[in-house]
Structure 1
Amino acid sequence: MRSRVWFPLTGLLAWLCCLRLGPVQGEKVLVMPVDGSHWLSMKILVKELGRRGHEVTVLVPESSLLIQGSDSYKTEVYKVPYTQDELDKSLNKLREGLFDQQPGLADLFVNVNRLVQFTSIQSVGCEALLDNEPLMTKLRTEGFDMMLTDPFLPCGSILARMFSIPAVYFLRGLPCELDIKANKCPSPVSYVPKFFSGNTDRMSFPERVKNMMMSFLESYICTVLYQKFDELVSKRIQDGMSYKELISEGAIWLLRYDFVFDWPKPLMPNMVLIGGINCAKTAPLPADLKEFVDASGDDGFIVFTLGSMVSDMPEAKAKQFFDAFRQIPQRVIWRYTGEIPKDVPKNVKLMKWVPQNDLLAHPKAKVFMTHGGSHGIYEGVCNGVPMLMFPLFGDQGDNVHRMTSRGVAVKLNIFDMTTETLVDGLKKVIYDKGYKERMVGLSQIHLDRPVEPLDLAVFWSEFVMRHKGASHLRVAAHDLNWFQYHSLDVIGFLVFVFVAVLWLTLKSCLFCTRKCCGKRGAKKKSE
């Protein structure tokens, strides 16, 4: 009789525990996204939070690149002091010169300048939002439980501070490793390569010298890059407060990478890896596209896209690609909106938008031709498709370097590429089975995990809502000044004690020596 009662009670207790630790139902989430490709992966988490019963509100500028409404969340559209045409022109300006090679370090400064120009217009939109008093009043009275934002731009962090709600950050990383610095996370230059250094995590002495020099250069770049953000934070939050200090208050950092992609390095307790969140689900291919790839036979097909922001190129450069595709038996699906020649090869299908992840999941996918954005890289890794890579700007060069160093990709310089080098690169990736084997191995490691990235992101978002933050994960380093953090005061004290003890010891020895010698001398004289 006791056993009959015991098992139902055990089941009831387990059910109650699961109910207690289950998702927070009906909490309010405010989302401040970054427009463009950053939104594509954040949208996955936003929709999932809405699907799980949370009331999600997404702030959308009236002039937007990719952010749209959905049944999974509601939107609050705010006015911005620029039109859609002006935003498009800003994007086109960012694209200008992408196919023109810059010499040496000039490429780094050109990238920084492009980034500053592109973020400037969105920062103006942020100020317009903060000055929108009716909307600010409405949002403040909503009683949001959490801010989900990408700290690539400052608006979400500022709103979280103004509304006194915890912030969950969703990002790949920040320029100048500001995410690492804001979290007081160790990043030794001896084995953590700096961006644009071209190093891996195993560096020779000259490479470590280069890495150190890049860290010095990074300090200057950060000052230029975040100057306007610092001014905005100082104006809106607290005089003299920097953007780094503001984002250091983030409760949880959801980082869109893992150590299949990035080099192993230290992380803080509130930094959660969710690499691959964008390739969790695939959908059936459209009928015409499915027919095209299914008919590719044993030769298979190639997926070619340069990301969500670049879909065309100079006519002469496009001709090199068309000429190369004529020389291979594989079919090619190319996201291309540029000038279309009259003699497009029969094995090439041009599209304005490509269901990238769905195509890469097809068993006949042979090569992924990509610019090296983190979204595309993870879709290639998830589906085990080796890559031919053409980095264009930003962190893409470093992303590509990570893949080529693992032997799963070949890099081509799109600036001085020829039809012949392109054909050779494709043949190398397709017919050298080592690339496919290594990529499949990398994919298996990536997919061998206890929790799916999306579930992990949802858990920590709901954790923050349940507990009103995650202060227990905040390291005490935030409360130390630079002197204390590096224990320079302790080292100075110990050096002082050591010198003092050494000095006293020497003085004592000298005193004893004099006394002893003095007594012996006096004794000899008396004798």
Structure 2
Amino acid sequence: VLLLLSLLGLAAAGKLLVVPVDGSHWLSMQEVVDILRQRGHEVVVVAPEVTMRIKPSKNFVMKMYSVPYTKEDMKKEFQAFFHFSFEQGSFLERFVKAYQGIKRITDFGVTSCGHLLQNKELMSYLEESKFDAILTDPVILCGAILAKHLSLPAVYFLRGIPCGLDFEATQCPRPPSYVPRGFTQFTDHMAFLQRVKNLLHDIPDIFLCDFVYEPYSKLASEFLQQDVTVQDLLRQASVWLLRSDFVLEYPRPLMPNIIPIGGVNCAHKELSQ
């Protein structure tokens, strides 16, 4: 990623719109945003007034919008979801808890995005600012909706999207005979019955992602005044910056516009003499 940013530094400075995802997602993106600013690019970050990690900085202009929930509401739901992630239980029990937790967290994202799109003053500013590109994490599709509305090249900065939606959008294969699905605890070495079970796990995944991402499709369709699917929003990406590395992932083919940048998650410390 440093090489990519160095190449950007050689080009004329541009104006970048950043629509981040709160929490740990922002920590990696903030480092990239800071380096882009050091390279001379103008960066505008759009975020709700209520956040856990996203704070104003001298390295970017921050535009905020109001939302109808509090920081305490967010903390309560996220802590409950993280607590569930470490609980033991059957697949059905974990699936039901995942459904309930993800539904509540999704409501925060959809509500926040709706208030952004309805903020006429902020939207007018974004439309008039003539950005060169948009950097966003597509795990929440608000930035993707803005990219389509503003007709901007989209750079997606992500670790992954639930249910393999990123695989589908980029047309990268993810065969269930080899790639283990979430919640299965399988490895890439599976017996025949494990492969069958792995295949069947795609069914609840489709159900989960339908209720998680369909509200964004509906929101985008209403806002853009045209039928928009989740895949329409994902496939518009010009570049995918994948916060992963083959050291941590199962080998798989990548499209030319997918760039692994797993090292961006690592802390940078100078070695002692």
On whether the aligned pair clears a TM of 0.5, the verdict is: yes
| Residue type at the aligned position of 1:196 | F
Higher CA-based Rg? 1
Once the two structures are superposed, the pairs formed by residues 205-216 of structure 1 within 5 Å of their partners are: 205-216=192-203
Whole-angstrom CA distance in 2 between matches of 1:43 and 1:114: 26
| Equivalent in the alignment of 2:210 | 223
Once the two structures are superposed, the pairs formed by residues 401-440 of structure 1 within 5 Å of their partners are: none
**With CA pairs under 8 Å and 6+ residues apart, which has the higher RCO, 1 or 2?**
2
| Residue type at the aligned position of 1:247 | L
Whole-angstrom CA distance in 2 between matches of 1:176 and 1:194: 8
Q: 1:204 aligns with which of 191, 194, 210?
A: 191
Equivalent pair of 2:91/2:183 in contact (CA under 8 Å): no
| Residue type at the aligned position of 2:106 | T
Whole-angstrom CA distance in 2 between matches of 1:26 and 1:57: 14
Shift of residue 230 of structure 1? 2.0
3-state SS, counterpart of residue 60 of structure 1: strand
1:55 aligns with 2:46: no
Aligned residue pairs total: 267
1:86 aligns with 2:106: no
| Equivalent in the alignment of 2:3 | none
TM-score (norm 1): 0.48
| Equivalent in the alignment of 2:88 | 101
Shift of residue 99 of structure 1? 5.8
Q: 2:164 aligns with which of 177, 189, 194?
A: 177
Shift of residue 96 of structure 1? 5.5
3-state SS, counterpart of residue 57 of structure 1: strand
Whole-angstrom CA distance in 2 between matches of 1:88 and 1:20: 39
Q: 2:240 aligns with which of 223, 234, 253?
A: 253
| Identity in percent | 41
Equivalent pair of 1:59/1:75 in contact (CA under 8 Å): yes
Once the two structures are superposed, the pairs formed by residues 71-470 of structure 1 within 5 Å of their partners are: 71-95=58-82, 97=84, 100-279=87-266, 281-282=268-269
1:67 aligns with 2:54: yes
| Residue type at the aligned position of 2:249 | D
Shift of residue 210 of structure 1? 1.4
Whole-angstrom CA distance in 1 between matches of 2:252 and 2:210: 25
Shift of residue 100 of structure 1? 4.6
3-state SS, counterpart of residue 52 of structure 2: coil
Whole-angstrom CA distance in 1 between matches of 2:208 and 2:102: 12
RMSD value, Cα: 2.2
Structure 1: gaps (5+ residues): 1-18, 284-360, 363-527
Shift of residue 153 of structure 1? 0.8
| Equivalent in the alignment of 2:33 | 46
**C-alpha spacing 1:119/1:214, structure 2 compared with 1 (3 Å):** same
Deviation readout 1:164-218 (Å, 9 max, x if unpaired): 1011001100000111111122222221222222222232212211121112332
Equivalent pair of 2:242/2:261 in contact (CA under 8 Å): yes
TM-score (norm 2): 0.90
3-state SS, counterpart of residue 10 of structure 2: coil
Deviation readout 1:101-153 (Å, 9 max, x if unpaired): 33233213312321221121122011111101111111111110010000111
Whole-angstrom CA distance in 2 between matches of 1:104 and 1:214: 10
| Equivalent in the alignment of 1:458 | none
Deviation readout 1:68-112 (Å, 9 max, x if unpaired): 122211111111122333333333443465565332332133123
**C-alpha spacing 1:20/1:98, structure 2 compared with 1 (3 Å):** closer
Equivalent pair of 1:158/1:233 in contact (CA under 8 Å): yes
**C-alpha spacing 1:21/1:165, structure 2 compared with 1 (3 Å):** closer
